Amino acid sequence: MTKRDFDAVVVGSGPNGLAAAVTMQQAGLSVLLLEGKNTVGGGLRTAELTLPGFLHDVCSAIHPLAADSPFLKTLPLADHGLEYIYPPLPAAHPLDNGTAAVLDPSLSVTAARLGADAQAYRSLVTAVVQDWPRLAPAILGPLRLPAHPVALARFGVKGLLPAQLLANFYLKTPEARALWAGMAAHAQLPLSNIATSAIGLVLLATGHQRGWPLPKGGSQQIASALTSYFVSLGGQVQTNFYVESLQQLPSAHAVLLDVTPRQLLAIAGHKLSALYKWQLERYRYGMGVFKIDWALAEPIPFTAPECRRAGTVHLGNTLEEIASSEQLTWDGGHPERPFVLLAQQSLFDATRAPAGQHTAWAYCHVPHGSRKDMTAAIEQQVERFAPGFRERILARHVFDTAQMEAHNPNYVGGDINGGVLDIGQLFTRPALRLSPYRTSAKGLYLCSSSTPPSGGVHGMCGYHAARRALRDVFNLRAAPLASL
C-alpha cells in the first residue's frame, strides 16, 4: 500500500457513520470522521428548539434498537456519559372510549390486559421474544446464511405477512388490533404491504426484552458518547466539513459514506460504473414526516392514565383508522386524522425542561416531499385523547419534509428510513450486489440507512460496512459480535 493521509475516511456522523468509524478505529487504523454540521450526530441531535431550557430531540427520540444493538451494546458508552432511562411503560395506545392498550415490559401483563386476545397475543409474540437475542444479529444485518435458521424461519413466517392480514388472523379485540397497528405503522408503509409485520414484531420483542429507553439529556448523548469513545481510541473528528465531492477528501485507502444514493451519485458519480449508477438512480424513497416539538406548561393530560406512564404514545385509535390513514398518505393524500407517534421524554428525564414544565415530541407521516402544514391535524389528534392539551402549549417548533432534509440531507423528501423499506428494498438496498455496502468503485463503501438493515438508531449499517471494508482493503476482521 502507498502512503496515505489516513487509512480510512468516514463521511457523515450519524449513528451509522459513527459506528463505522469506531469499528475501523478498533481495528487499529487511522480514521478521520467528517461532519458537515457544527456538531456530530446526524439524526442524533438535541437542541433548544422552542424556549430556553427546553431540550428537544431534533430527530430520533426513543431508542429500543440502540440499547439492544448487537454492536452498540458491546461498547463502553456508559463510561463516556451515556445513560438510558426506561419509562415504566414502553408504549401506550389510547382509544376513543377512554381506555388504552399498553406495551408493558412484561409479556404476561401485556397479554392479560388484552382480555379475549390474551392467548392470541402470546401465540403471536412469545417465540419472537424468546428468540430475539439470537434473531437480532441476523435481522439487523445483510442477507446471508443465518446462524439460527429455525428461529429466523419462525420469525419469517409471521414477519413477511402484511400487518393487516396478520391482525385479521390472530387478533379480534379493538385493543389488541390497535396496539399491533401502531407498532406495524412504524414501517411507513400501507399495512396491506408484504413484510410490514416484521417491524411490529421487532418493536414488541424489544419492548418485552429491554424496553424502549430514552437517553438522559437527549439523543445527542448517544452521538456524544460514541464520539468520545472514538476519540479515546485515537480517532479524529472534523466538523463543519460538508462533502460535495471526493476531491475534497484527504487521501485514504478506504472511504465510507454515511449518505443515501442521491448524495452518493452527486459525490462520487464519476467513479461509479454505469450499471451501479443505473440502479442507484432507480432507488425509491418513501413517505416523509411532519414533526412538532412542544414546550408545555404541564404534562399532556391524557384521559387514559396508562398514557401518562408511557414514553411513547401511538395516536390513531383503531387498526382500521390507522390502516386507512397510512394508505391515504402512501397514495399522496393528507388524512384529517393522521397516525401520530408521540414521545414525552420530560416525564422521565428532568433535564429536558425547567422545573415543573415539560416537552413533547411528535410526528405524522406525509407524502414524500409534502410541504403541507400538519400542525392543526396533529394537535387535534393529541387533543382528541388528551382534552386540554392545547391550553398547556407554551411554544412549538415544526419541521416539514423540506426542513427535515435541510437539517439532515439523508432525510430525502422527509424519509427518515433512508428509502422505502418494502420487500423490494429490504435486503437489496441500495442495489442488487453480493455486498450491499460495496460500491462499484474500489475502496468506496456505503454505510448509511440505505443499506441493510435500514433505518433506526442501531449502528449496524455502519458496523457491517466497516467490516466489509476491513476485509476487502486491509485484510482485517472486525471484532466478532455475539451470535454473528
Q: Per DSSP, what are the bridge partners of residue 449?
A: none
What does residue 329 show for φ and ψ, rounded to 5 degrees?
Answer: -65, -45
Q: Per DSSP, what are the bridge partners of residue 215?
A: 84
| Distance from C-alpha of 315 to C-alpha of 101, rounded to nearest angstrom | 11
C-alpha radius of gyration, the chain, whole number: 21
Residue pLDDT, tens place only, 238-288:
999 999 999 999 999 999 999 999 999 999 999 999 999 999 999 999 999
Residue pLDDT, tens place only, 54-65:
999 999 999 999
Three-point CA angle 54, 60, 65, nearest 5°: 130
So what's the pLDDT on residue 3? Answer: 60
Q: Is the pLDDT of residue 481 over 90?
A: no
Hey, which bits of 1-41 come out as E strands? 6-11, 31-34
| Other Cβ atoms within 10 Å of 81 Cβ, number | 15
Percent with pLDDT over 70 in the chain? 98
Residue pLDDT, tens place only, 208-245:
998 999 999 999 999 999 999 999 999 999 999 999 99
The pTM of the full predicted model, rounded to 2 decimals, is: 0.96
Three-point CA angle 64, 398, 351, nearest 5°: 50
Residue the block writes with cell 432507488: 283
Would you say 88 and 171 are in contact if contact means Cβ atoms under 8 Å apart? no
| Distance from C-alpha of 477 to C-alpha of 390, rounded to nearest angstrom | 54
Cell digits of residue 361:
415530541
Cell digits of residue 78:
456508559
Residue pLDDT, tens place only, 109-121:
999 999 999 999 9
Q: H-helix or E-strand containing 155?
A: helix 149-159
Model confidence band, residue 482 (pLDDT cutoffs 50, 70, 90): low
So what's the pLDDT on residue 246? Answer: 96
> In the predicted model, what is the mean pLDDT of residues 312-334?
98
Domains and their CATH numbers in the chain:
6-45+68-82+217-283+411-474 (3.50.50.60)
Q: Edge-to-edge strands of the sheet including 89-94? A: 100-103, 89-94, 310-315, 340-343, 358-366, 288-296, 393-399
Q: Is the pLDDT of residue 1 over 50?
A: no
Three-point CA angle 136, 139, 141, nearest 5°: 105
Residue the block writes with cell 386540554: 388
